[in-house]
Structure 1
Amino acid sequence: MMLDILANNNWERPIYFTGGSYEESEYIWMKDYLQLDGLVYKLVPIKTSIENNPYEMGRIDSDLMYDIVKKWSWGNSESDEIYHDPETRKIVFLLEVIYLDCLKS
């Protein structure tokens, strides 16, 4: 089904994937053609091979990511009076990783 979508899309509309898996089989051959756009990966026609780290995928458009990260709304997340459940803490960790990836690029 995924290959059919790719074959008929003709780059007319963007195709996005959520993160969460680093298995090669989950992304077929597309891992090298992904670009991190905020919290999702966008399929792009630019090959970016990352051979040293199996947990990194594709490329990062630094200017776009900087713009996205600066616009995120954090609400009251800095308050120590708010309980942050384990799922929320996982998301915060993911956001920290995205920040670091943005800084590295």
Structure 2
Amino acid sequence: MIFDRKGFKVYVKQHPREADINYLNARMLPRTVPIEIFSLLGINFHYAVSLHSAGIQDEFVIAKIQKNLVPLKYFDADHFHLWEDIVVKGLDEMME
């Protein structure tokens, strides 16, 4: 993962309906707890990154830098073939 190579502790919060995936060098947050709870509890991270999540929109500040990598207008099956390039570009921009 790009973030652990940069020395960050990586936390992963999967969607409740998402299949279990084991991420190397990542700490898993409970999938049943909405990410917005961290904002309400005053728990903040340096980065919050998602393909697209309402939980890291402007009204919920859980990180110094928050980014939905795939814009909502491309977040569908018809545009899935574009996601890899969009994600790589978004991560590159964040790491500048």
Normalization by structure 2: what TM-score? 0.27
**Which structure carries more strand by proportion?**
2
Rg larger for = 1
**Which structure carries more helix by proportion?**
1
Normalization by structure 1: what TM-score? 0.25
